[in-house]
Amino acid sequence: MIRRTPDIAGAHALGLRSSWVTDGRVWAQDAYWPAHVARDVAAAIGHAITASE
- pLDDT tens for 1-53 read 666 565 788 888 888 888 899 988 888 888 888 999 999 999 999 999 998 76
Q: Is the pTM of this model over 0.85?
A: no
Q: What is the pLDDT of residue 6?
A: 59
What are the DSSP calls for 1-53, one per residue? -EESSS--HHHHHHT---EEE-TT-----SS---SEEESSHHHHHHHHHH---
